[in-house]
Amino acid sequence: MEAYATALLYAIPFFILLMGIEMAYGLLVKNIKYTTLDTVSSISSGLTNIIKDSLGLALIIVSYPFLRDHLALTSIESSWLVWVLAFVFIDFAGYWNHRLSHHINIFWNQHVIHHSSERFNLACALRQPISNVIGYFPLLLIPAALLGIPQEVIAILAPIHLFAQFWYHTQHIGRMGWLEYVFVTPSQHRVHHAINPEYIDKNLGQVLCIWDRMFGTFQEELKEIPPQYGVLKPAATWNPIHINFQHLWGLITDAWRTNSFRDKLRIWFMPTGWRPGDVVGKYPRKTIVDVYNFERYNTPASNALKGYAIFQVAAHLCQILYMFYNYGQIGFNGLLFLGAFNFVGIYGYTSLMDRKNYAMWIEAIRSLAGIAIILWTGDWFGIEGYWGGGSELLLGYFIISLLAGIYFTKYDTASGKASVAL
């Protein structure tokens, strides 16, 4: 996992640079695709995901090295061919993993976060899951294992394959000629994120679009049908941790409420959105009927709160980059604590963005705990060894967080209703 953390150390600044370029271009052409709170929510989701993934917080059913050791029928020597084949196998597995996530109730829970933004921009690409706690992806790599593709090749290509899916989350790039027949493009992926009936569950490819064309899930973007974004059952929150588990909680409550024992069992593996007949009428859920006319989620937010949200996401990003930079030195227990501390922080300020009163208490407890640790130890997980005065800076950060939580909960409540929508 340390190698993955190192890869993220370089990838995160690159992603932020690309988002900055997209924002600047949007300003230049007067066609901005970002709003502050949605963007902060998207980046915050990405931060929770990279903490969880870099710490390896998942139960892997079976590892790829195990499959290769027990199933390999041959062994391909290291050459350009093995890298090409490995990439194709990863993309093929990614297509079917993606298709399962769209078509089976329990698997949709680990993917809904990615579709939850009602905007489409590079930031929404960062909406990645923390609810995928059971890892079954290696099972989809059995074809690679049969050919004896080395696990080192898979380990190197897997993050590259993931990062290669970032760039096409944009509305500023049109059709791309012949590339549309080989690779997933922005036009194709806009279709994938759309909730229009014509576009639902289409274009499931990740890097190559050939699988969609082979298996009947391809749909081109139509000029007369502009894509509308989000999910048919709106998330209605900026809190990425809530979004990650909303669908799962819905499955649990439906399984509890239904009187049918059969439905209690099969609800998990039925098509996405299926609910037992005896709970649909009794416990209706709000869904979007007219995709062109629905109220997108928004909360009252003054410019001060928007600025504070940006400040918090930047502060958490810096803390996470520090974790990655010192991955080996901090130790696993320290990394778990810092990861949990950042999870709580993200939960706190995104709840504040949702205008939840309990956000003040989350921020207060977290801030007081941080202040106590710094005053007791005189350090913050070795930061003084790299940056003299770093712990004092963090002390100031926790004091600001404490006071801001109180201010934005108790005093800055109504002013946001008249704020500029940015």
Owning domain of residue 7: 2-215
The count of structural domains within the chain is 2
Query: According to the model, what pLDDT value does residue 258 have?
Result: 97
Domain boundary among 184, 215, 246: 215
In a domain, residue 48? The reply is: yes
Contact 56, 14 (CB under 8 A): no
Contact 326, 384 (CB under 8 A): no
Q: Do residues 330 and 210 both lie within one domain? A: no
The answer to whether position 257 is within a domain reads no
For residues 198 and 308, state if they share a domain: no
**Structure tokens of 133?**
């706690």
Q: Are 155 and 65 in contact (CB under 8 A)?
A: no
In a domain, 220, yes or no: no
72 and 168 within one domain: yes
Q: What is the model's pTM?
A: 0.93
**Is the same domain home to 181 and 34?**
yes
Domain stops at, among 215, 232, 251 = 215
pLDDT < 50: residue spans in the chain: 415-422
Domain-embedded: residue 337: yes
Q: Let me know whether 209 and 345 are in one domain.
A: no
Residues 324 and 184 in one domain: no
In a domain, 150, yes or no: yes
The predicted structure's pLDDT at residue 418: 34
> Which of 185, 215, 245 is a domain's end point?
215
The residues with which 59 forms a beta bridge, in sequence order, are 134
Two tokens, residue 52: 């969880």
Domain contains 90? yes
**CA distances from residue 309 to 40, 152, 203, 252, 401 in whole angstroms, order as listed:** 7, 40, 34, 32, 11
What was the pLDDT predicted at 414?
Answer: 56
For residue 392, tell me if it sits in a domain. Answer: yes
Establish if 295 belongs to a structural domain. no
- Bridge partners (DSSP) listed for residue 60: 135
Question: Same structural domain for residues 308 and 203?
Answer: no
